[in-house]
Amino acid sequence: MSNAAPRPADPEHLWSVEEHLEDILATVRPLDPIELNLLDAQGCVLVEDVTVAVSLPPFDNSSMDGYAVRVADVAGASEEFPAVLEVVGDIAAGGPGSLRVGPGQAARIMTGAPLPPGAEAVVPVEWTDGGLGGGPVTRMPAHSLAPEAAGGQVQVHRAAAARAHVRAEGSDVRAGDRALDAGTVLGPPQIALLAAIGRGTVRVRPRPRVVVLSTGSELVQPDEALADGQIYDSNSFALTACARDAGAIAYRVGAVPDDAETLRSTIEDQLVRADLMVTTGGVSVGAYDVVKEALAHVGDEDEPGGGVEFRKLAMQPGKPQGFGSVGPDHTPLLALPGNPVSSYVSFELFVRPAIRTLMGLDDVHRPRIQATLVTDTALTSPKGRRQFLRGTVADGSVRPVGGAGSHLVAALAQADALIVVPEDVESVEPGTEVEVVLLG
Amino acid sequence: MSNAAPRPADPEHLWSVEEHLEDILATVRPLDPIELNLLDAQGCVLVEDVTVAVSLPPFDNSSMDGYAVRVADVAGASEEFPAVLEVVGDIAAGGPGSLRVGPGQAARIMTGAPLPPGAEAVVPVEWTDGGLGGGPVTRMPAHSLAPEAAGGQVQVHRAAAARAHVRAEGSDVRAGDRALDAGTVLGPPQIALLAAIGRGTVRVRPRPRVVVLSTGSELVQPDEALADGQIYDSNSFALTACARDAGAIAYRVGAVPDDAETLRSTIEDQLVRADLMVTTGGVSVGAYDVVKEALAHVGDEDEPGGGVEFRKLAMQPGKPQGFGSVGPDHTPLLALPGNPVSSYVSFELFVRPAIRTLMGLDDVHRPRIQATLVTDTALTSPKGRRQFLRGTVADGSVRPVGGAGSHLVAALAQADALIVVPEDVESVEPGTEVEVVLLG
């Protein structure tokens, strides 16, 4: 994490969504690259330009199961007047390559096996009698069952042009070619190419390790009994799932009670496995807002960038937010509000881009579209706040689900989108085009 | 895996893509459900209807940091003529709930804390003097620093309607409500809801365990040196990545040489961790096609559904395919061709739907769209074969990348779509609308 960007000094400053996001993205830096085994690098961003060391294919080889022949020997061949060739042996893929095809000869060759010296083309087995002396065959007998078919004679029923059914050395990629550029995200086809050119490891930015902890003395783990005034901890589960969904390796820490010292020591303890720390709850204006209490003053003034700043955002839900860094490595920390919907929306808007920035991805945000609002009555929204309402999108339309309450997690589970109502809009009529953030 | 569907008896029958796919989907059955911890169930399909056991929220609670009051006590209050109330103590979230608010009294209350008996509404701290005797405040002092603020007097500057800033018990979901239906895929918001209603485990179909093995005596692991006639094994890496991408837990087995006994014993050995087995290579018409040799005859005639059938498909790439089951549990096995592009395309068309069927998902296929072909010259395609060409999609257009060769893995790494050319089409002019399979 680099030094923090200059921030508004007024603690009562109402931050816009963009200002807060810009502060985060100006501060969080992609993780240092490491060398990873190919399959461990799936979904990661390549940081090196990968050059082909050995051409692909590395040698001329057959694209068919058939016979390697000399063109002149099969010129004019037909089923009625076949070319009859002496079979000098089998060339299996990966087998030793000592055979040579002379005039009047053929080698039985398998797909992928190297074209032997002397041969100029391959005729598929279907163009031959397969050595059986009859009409065209559809396949070769297994060598283990009929070893004699690797010798004797073969009748070829069709002519072949030079290089027919031969894959040329380097016809896929040549030694020295650029296989993949730095910045490429490694999906299955890119992994295929890297393996094919012999790369067992690659240099990528690793998946960030994200530690998620919820705070609140009222929180009980699911499956436990609730006492009076208690509720179940859902944020630590939801945000751990969100962090994985964003590409991170996520660690869920159980809920921490509202005690500043316990929270500080828990965070300190977890730092060793955190590239990013996410907390929920304790960031508002109450007397027991422990995250604020524990983290607002940890910044070492001699080390710029340390410390967490708590601020109010011009958004709903998600008004109170904290952002900064903790620990000797200035590990970035996002402190989200505790209401389940607030923390979820805050994660999607701020934490997901931070995670994807750590990964080195270019595309850090959820996609957004315009959609037509379908609703019976106008949506209302507080003036001066950007509101994010839950909705479902289909065929260019979006319908709100549930109310605006930031505790309404049931409706959230039905939603696949967030409807954005800008700060200066207090009412949105049915049929209006609205901006929509697509989730998942 | 249920018994195999009836299959065409003619071994030379040319199967359509649909026939092969239907055979697979008619045979593969969703995995039996198991009870999993919530975070282990991410991305899985719920098999139970989940009912709410305890209402959410479980009790009336405050949506703000402020003071719990009686409505009559604050009627007509203003900054000029504030209501002055006796503060009887703090109600923190999760704390013991012994306080009662009588006439002329208020309790300082935190977001999420239970509304105390006697109180009818909450006034936000910003509508009060916070007990300091001055104008409106923006926050409460931390209790740990100013414990005296939990007593004394508070001046309230605004009236509050009954139930103002109170979240009613059950306003999110009520005990007995259906929280989620069987068949729901568990993403972060669904995990949030399940945790919130106290469900620590859920009954879902697990992620299938897919064992991927490549065959070929020519195959060398990446980072090793290539001898004459050898190439790098890329299929086992690519398809392991593909299987994960489809939602499976994938195990990559190193390349197996072209020896039927070794292959049989490797498969037997791996069965213990396989819900689905995928092989590449050895399925064509050559004399060393070991998969065919090893598996074509393993079916026990007393147990219908056992055995792997090898067939030709009317498609390019991907003509030779095998499908059936192996082992005492009739573990489904898909035997794909060995060319990298053939195996990749075959995976996307046949293995991915099989994996997603095992997961119990409704939506098992890659999405398809119509796009306009952008190319300099017409595409050609063999008659009677459905061709799948690699392409890139943008803004409703698709451009082919690379050639049709099934060994061209470099072009595959540039593609994000497959262009479908139907069986009866031999040439596609630029500007034609074509069907496109969107990858990844």
Nearest CA in chain B to A257: B94
- Banded model confidence at residue B307, pLDDT cuts 50, 70, 90: confident
Among B319, B336, B358, where does a domain finish?
Answer: B358
Domain co-membership, B351 together with B298: yes
Average pLDDT over every residue of A194-221: 97
Please report the residues numbered 51 through 70 in chain A whose beta carbons come closer than 8 angstroms to any beta carbon of chain B. 54, 56-59, 63, 65
Q: What is the DSSP letter of B148?
A: G
Report the 10 Å Cβ neighbour count for A388: 27
> How close is the nearest chain A Cα to the Cα of B383, in Å?
18
User: Helices A188-196 and B235-245 meet at what angle, rounded to 10?
Assistant: 170
**For residue A407, what is the domain's CATH number?**
2.40.340.10
Of A159, A213, A174, A207, whose CA–CA distance to A326 is shortest? A213
Contacts of B93 in chain A (CB under 8 A): 216-218, 229, 258, 288
Domain co-membership, A262 together with A341: yes
Q: What ranges make up the beta strands (E) of B77-118?
A: 83-91, 105-109
Residue B328 — φ and ψ, nearest 5°?
-65, -25
Annotate A398-412 with b (16+ C-beta within 10 A) or e (fewer).
bbbbbebebbbbbbb
Predicted confidence (pLDDT) per residue in B191-228, tens digit: 999 999 999 999 999 999 999 999 999 999 999 999 99
Please report the residues numbered 359 through 388 in chain B whose beta carbons come closer than 8 angstroms to any beta carbon of chain A. none
Residue B3 has pLDDT above 50, yes or no: no
Contacts of B234 in chain A (CB under 8 A): 192-193, 195-196
Structure tokens of B166?
């109170």
Domain co-membership, A279 together with A323: yes
Of A117, A107, A65, A112, whose CA–CA distance to A93 is shortest? A112
Contacts of A439 in chain B (CB under 8 A): 189
Q: A74: which residues sit within 8 A by CB, 6+ positions away? A: A83, A85, A121, A123, A156, A158, A159, A160
Q: Which pLDDT belongs to residue B98?
A: 85
Please report the residues numbered 321 through 350 in chain A whose beta carbons come closer than 8 angstroms to any beta carbon of chain B. 338-340, 344
Any A CB within 8 A of B404 CB: no
Residue A8 has pLDDT above 80, yes or no: no
Average pLDDT over every residue of A35-39: 98
Q: What is the DSSP string of B154-201?
A: EEE-S---TTTTEEPTTSSB-TTSEEE-TT-B--HHHHHHHHHTT-SE
Can you say how many angstroms the Cα of residue A225 is from the centroid of all Cα atoms in its chain? 38
- Banded model confidence at residue A304, pLDDT cuts 50, 70, 90: very low
Predicted confidence (pLDDT) per residue in A214-250, tens digit: 999 999 999 999 999 999 999 999 999 999 999 999 9
Q: B1 in a domain, yes or no?
A: no
Interatomic CA distance for residues B80 and B19, integer angstroms: 82
Residue A2 has pLDDT above 60, yes or no: no
Structure tokens of B311?
């067939």
Domain co-membership, A380 together with A423: yes
Average pLDDT over every residue of A125-141: 94
Predicted confidence (pLDDT) per residue in A354-370, tens digit: 999 999 999 999 999 99
Any B CB within 8 A of A440 CB: yes
Q: What is the DSSP string of B17-68?
A: HHHHHHHHHHH--PPPPEEEEGGGGTTPEE-S-EE-SS-BSSS-EESSSEEE
Structure tokens of A292?
């604020």
Q: B112 in a domain, yes or no?
A: yes
Q: Which pLDDT belongs to residue B12?
A: 78
Decide the pairing of beta strands B307-313 and B368-373. unpaired
Any A CB within 8 A of B26 CB: no
Q: Do B287 and A440 touch (CB under 8 A)?
A: no
Q: Which pLDDT belongs to residue B70?
A: 98
Average pLDDT over every residue of A375-400: 95
Q: Do B196 and A231 touch (CB under 8 A)?
A: yes
Q: Which pLDDT belongs to residue B1?
A: 46
Interatomic CA distance for residues A387 and A319, integer angstroms: 10
Q: Which pLDDT belongs to residue B406?
A: 62
The H-or-E segment that residue B238 falls in is helix B235-245
Residue A405 has pLDDT above 70, yes or no: no
Residue A6 has pLDDT above 60, yes or no: no
Structure tokens of B273?
């961790």
Residue B64 has pLDDT above 80, yes or no: yes
pLDDT over 70 percentage in chain A: 94
Interatomic CA distance for residues B185 and B47, integer angstroms: 10
Domain co-membership, A50 together with A199: yes
Of A418, A286, A412, whose CA–CA distance to A349 is shortest? A418
Any B CB within 8 A of A47 CB: no
Domain co-membership, A328 together with A250: yes
Residue B142 has pLDDT above 80, yes or no: yes
Q: If you average pLDDT over every residue of chain A, what do you get?
A: 93
Q: Do A138 and B228 touch (CB under 8 A)?
A: no
Q: Which pLDDT belongs to residue B97?
A: 74
Any B CB within 8 A of A92 CB: yes
Of A197, A64, A89, A84, whose CA–CA distance to A133 is shortest? A84
Q: A179 in a domain, yes or no?
A: no
Domain co-membership, A190 together with A221: no
Q: Do B232 and A125 touch (CB under 8 A)?
A: no
Average pLDDT over every residue of B254-277: 95
Q: Do B125 and A39 touch (CB under 8 A)?
A: no
Q: Which pLDDT belongs to residue B320?
A: 95
Q: A18: which residues sit within 8 A by CB, 6+ positions away? A: none
Q: Do A226 and B97 touch (CB under 8 A)?
A: no
Closest partner CB to A192 (pick from B142, B221, B413): B413
Q: Which pLDDT belongs to residue A240?
A: 98
Q: What is the DSSP letter of B286?
A: S
Interatomic CA distance for residues A91 and A115, integer angstroms: 8
Contacts of A179 in chain B (CB under 8 A): 410, 413
Q: A130 in a domain, yes or no?
A: yes
Interatomic CA distance for residues B115 and B166, integer angstroms: 8
Average pLDDT over every residue of B96-123: 94
Q: What is the DSSP string of B217-230?
A: TTEE-TTSPP-TT-
Q: A8 in a domain, yes or no?
A: no
Contacts of B113 in chain A (CB under 8 A): 218, 229
Q: Which pLDDT belongs to residue A248?
A: 98
Q: Do B252 and A39 touch (CB under 8 A)?
A: yes
Burial class (CB in 10 A: 0-12, 13-18, 19+), A43: middle
Interatomic CA distance for residues A233 and A403, integer angstroms: 21
Give the structural domain span for B352.
14-31+206-358
Tokens 């498969």 found at: B267
Any B CB within 8 A of A125 CB: yes
Nearest CA in chain B to A126: B285
Nearest CA in chain B to A51: B410
Residue A369 — φ and ψ, nearest 5°?
-135, 170
- Banded model confidence at residue A3, pLDDT cuts 50, 70, 90: very low
Helix H segments across A178-327?
188-196, 235-245, 260-270, 290-295
Interatomic CA distance for residues B347 and B361, integer angstroms: 17
Residue B302 has pLDDT above 70, yes or no: no
Residue B247 has pLDDT above 90, yes or no: yes
Lowest mean pLDDT among A91-95, A130-134, B249-253: A91-95
Average pLDDT over every residue of B375-391: 94
Q: Which pLDDT belongs to residue A4?
A: 47
Domain co-membership, B116 together with B263: no
Q: Do A410 and B172 touch (CB under 8 A)?
A: yes
Contacts of B407 in chain A (CB under 8 A): 57, 63, 167, 171-172
Decide the pairing of beta strands B397-400 and B368-373. parallel
**More confidently predicted of B419 and B95:** B419
Any A CB within 8 A of B123 CB: no
Q: What is the DSSP letter of A338?
A: S
Closest partner CB to B287 (pick from A90, A172, A197): A90
- Banded model confidence at residue A396, pLDDT cuts 50, 70, 90: very high
Radius of gyration of chain B (CA): 33
> How close is the nearest chain B Cα to the Cα of A130, in Å?
11
Among B167, B192, B216, where does a domain finish?
Answer: B167
Domain co-membership, A277 together with A382: no
Q: What is the DSSP letter of A209?
A: E
Q: What is the DSSP letter of B404?
A: S
Residue A428 — φ and ψ, nearest 5°?
-125, 120
- Banded model confidence at residue B2, pLDDT cuts 50, 70, 90: very low
> How close is the nearest chain A Cα to the Cα of B409, in Å?
6
Contacts of A240 in chain B (CB under 8 A): 39
Any A CB within 8 A of B7 CB: no
Structure tokens of A28?
């969080």
Domain co-membership, B147 together with B246: no
Contacts of B189 in chain A (CB under 8 A): 238, 344, 409, 412-413, 415, 439
Domain co-membership, A89 together with A237: no
Of B203, B228, B178, whose CA–CA distance to B34 is shortest? B203
Q: B5 in a domain, yes or no?
A: no
Nearest CA in chain B to A227: B94
Contacts of B232 in chain A (CB under 8 A): 195-198
User: Helices B188-196 and A235-245 meet at what angle, rounded to 10?
Assistant: 170
The three-state secondary structure class of A251 is strand
Any B CB within 8 A of A197 CB: yes
- Banded model confidence at residue A301, pLDDT cuts 50, 70, 90: low
Q: Do B57 and A199 touch (CB under 8 A)?
A: no
Q: Which pLDDT belongs to residue B7?
A: 56
Burial class (CB in 10 A: 0-12, 13-18, 19+), B337: buried
Q: If you average pLDDT over every residue of chain B, what do you get?
A: 93
Any B CB within 8 A of A251 CB: no
| CA angle (B78, B79, B82) in 5-degree steps | 65
Among B358, B388, B413, where does a domain finish?
Answer: B358
Domain count, chain B: 4
Of A163, A167, A165, whose CA–CA distance to A59 is shortest? A167
Residue A284 has pLDDT above 80, yes or no: yes
The answer to whether A335 touches A279, Cβ cutoff 8 Å, is yes
Decide the pairing of beta strands A433-438 and A397-400. unpaired
Q: B333 in a domain, yes or no?
A: yes
| CA angle (B348, B354, B359) in 5-degree steps | 120
Best residue in B54, B128, B139 for a mutation probing chain A (most A CBs within 10 Å): B139
Residue B121 has pLDDT above 50, yes or no: yes
The answer to whether B388 touches B318, Cβ cutoff 8 Å, is yes
Q: Do A231 and B288 touch (CB under 8 A)?
A: no
Domain co-membership, B296 together with B310: yes
Please, how many CA atoms are within 13 Å of residue B435, restricted to the half-sphere of its CB? 12
Lowest mean pLDDT among A290-299, B25-34, B207-216: A290-299
**For residue B106, what is the domain's CATH number?**
2.170.190.11
- Banded model confidence at residue A296, pLDDT cuts 50, 70, 90: confident
Residue A120 has pLDDT above 70, yes or no: yes
Q: B4 in a domain, yes or no?
A: no
Any B CB within 8 A of A311 CB: no
ipTM: 0.94
Report the 10 Å Cβ neighbour count for A25: 17
Nearest CA in chain A to B197: A232
**For residue B191, what is the domain's CATH number?**
3.90.105.10
